[in-house]
Amino acid sequence: QVQLVESGGGLVQAGGSLRLSCAASGRTFSSYAMGWFRQAPGKEREFVAAISWSGGHTYYADSVKGRFTISRDNAKNTVYLQMNSLKPEDTGVYYCAAGYHPGGFVPQSFAEYNYWGQGTQVTVSS
């Protein structure tokens, strides 16, 4: 079992930055690929970014590429999402997810993750 707790969300103006954190506890964190998803009101949950267990491979949705950066610190059991140049369309609840993929695989599908956090709200005002 892996427990995930997100933090760092809030209200920011367009063009601003936020850094989300996801603290993990439970099973060996370094065996898990980690991802961030988001869900806007009235929309389905969508993939944002993911990172392999070692941090050596990352993948981003086209909508955030060049603006967001995912990273992880396995010594601290924490994954981060640095969000720059935020836009109103980035508004939503951001979820951290863990998927057991000890190789270099970087999962992008909802179904490839085993554990989910409760989410943190990000609101970008125009």
pLDDT along the chain (126 residues), means of 10: 94 98 86 95 96 93 98 95 98 96 87 96 97
Q: What is the C-alpha separation between 47 and 66, in angstroms, rounded?
A: 15
Q: According to the model, what pLDDT value does residue 117 have?
A: 97
Amino acid letter for position 3: Q
3-state secondary structure of 117: coil
Q: According to the model, what pLDDT value does residue 99 have?
A: 93
**Alpha carbon of 85 to those of 11, 19, 89: distances in Å?**
14, 12, 11
Question: Which residues are 36's β-sheet partners?
Answer: 49, 96
Per-residue DSSP letter, 23 = E
Q: What is the C-alpha separation between 120 and 124, in angstroms, rounded?
A: 13
Q: According to the model, what pLDDT value does residue 103 have?
A: 79
Q: What is the C-alpha separation between 95 and 97, in angstroms, rounded?
A: 6
Q: According to the model, what pLDDT value does residue 27 have?
A: 67
Going through the chain in order, the beta strands assigned E by DSSP cover 2-7, 10-13, 18-26, 32-39, 46-51, 58-60, 68-73, 78-83, 92-100, 115-116, 120-125
Q: According to the model, what pLDDT value does residue 101 have?
A: 85
